[in-house]
Amino acid sequence: MTTELPAESAPAPYVVRFRRLPPVLMVAAGALLCGKAIRWIAGAAHGGHPERIPPPLALAVASILLTAAGAVRLARARRTGGIAFAVDADGIFMVASPDGARRFPWDEVSALVLFSRRTEFIQGTVRCVGLRLHPTAPGSPERHLAEFDQAVSRHDLPLDAWDRIRRLDRRPSREGLVLAVSVHAETRGWRYRATPLARAMRAHAPGVPVVHEPTERYHDLVGWRADQEELRRILEDAELRPWC
C-alpha cells in the first residue's frame, strides 16, 4: 500500500490594487469647488461681495484638475479590474504610463528595478517600479542603440535629419544601461510592499533579481527613452519628405 504525497501548491500571486477612495474624494472635492465657483459668479453678478471668498478662476481650475485626475484614476482602475501591479507564474502585469496595462512574460524580463524620482511641484519623491528587459526584447536599450547606430550610418537621409541624429544625447553609456528600464510605473493610487514583493519574485522567478536604485539614478534608468522617441520622430519626418 502506497501513500500519495499531496501535490505542492503553487505560490500565490502578488497583486496590488488601485485604492478607490482617493480618486472618489478627488471627484467629490472637484464638484464641491465647482459649486463654490458657480455661486461666486452668481453672487458677483447680483452685486455680492466677491472679496469674501476666493477668486472664481482659481476655484474653477482647481475643480477641473481634481475632477479630471480623479476620473482618470477611476477609469484606469476600471479597465484593469482594479489591478495596478501583479507578479504571478505567467510574468509581471503592470499599468505604466503612457504604455497602459500590459503583461510581460518571464522570458522577456531580466530584472525588476525599484527606484524613485523627485516630484516637480511638491518637494518629495514618488516611488517607481521598472522592468529591465532582455537585450533581444522589443523596447530594450540595446535594441535602441543598435537602431541608433544603424541610423547614423545611413546615407539616404536628408542632411538635417542626419545632423539631428548625430546631436542626440546617447548618455548613459552602454555600461550605464545595465539596469536601464524599458517600462516603468509610478506608484500613484497604489503602493507596493518591498518584502512581500521580493518574496513573490523569488517564488515565481528565482532567476530574476530585484534591484533597488537610488533617486539620483533616475535619469540613467529612463533617460535613454527620450532619445528613442526623438530618433523615431526624426526617421518618420525623413520618410515623409523626399530627399534632395
* Cα end-to-end distance, the chain, whole Å: 86
113, 181 in Cβ contact below 8 A?
yes
User: Of 48, 64, 82, which closes a domain?
Assistant: 82
Evaluate whether residue 60 is within a structural domain.
yes
Do 72 and 114 share a domain, yes or no?
A: no
Evaluate whether residue 10 is within a structural domain.
no
Domain that holds residue 175: 91-240
Do 129 and 175 share a domain, yes or no?
A: yes
Position 133 confidence tier, pLDDT thresholds 50, 70, 90: very high
Q: Reduced to 3 states, what is the DSSP secondary structure of residue 4?
A: coil
Task: Look at residue 113 in the predicted model and tell me its pLDDT.
Answer: 95
Evaluate whether residue 8 is within a structural domain.
no
* Mean model confidence pLDDT for the chain: 77
Do 61 and 173 share a domain, yes or no?
A: no
Report the share of the chain in percent with pLDDT over 90: 28
- Domains in the chain: how many in total? 2
Partners of residue 126 on adjacent β-strands:
117
- DSSP at 138: T
Do 95 and 144 share a domain, yes or no?
A: yes
User: Of 35, 58, 82, which closes a domain?
Assistant: 82
Residue 157's identity, in one-letter code, is L
Q: Classify each residue of 26-49 as buried b or exposed e, where b means 16 or more C-beta atoms within 10 Å of its C-beta.
A: bbeebeebbebbeebeeeeeeeee
- pLDDT tens for each residue of 167-222: 887 666 766 788 899 999 988 878 999 999 999 999 999 999 999 998 888 888 99
Does this model's pTM top 0.85? My answer is no
Evaluate whether residue 231 is within a structural domain.
yes
Do 116 and 60 share a domain, yes or no?
A: no
Do 112 and 228 share a domain, yes or no?
A: yes
Q: How far apart are CA 148 and CA 145, in angstroms?
A: 5
Question: C-alpha cell of 26?
Answer: 478627488
Q: How far apart are CA 98 and CA 49, in angstroms?
A: 45
Do 75 and 166 share a domain, yes or no?
A: no
Do 54 and 155 share a domain, yes or no?
A: no
Do 163 and 210 share a domain, yes or no?
A: yes
User: Of 61, 82, 103, which closes a domain?
Assistant: 82
Question: C-alpha cell of 92?
Answer: 509581471
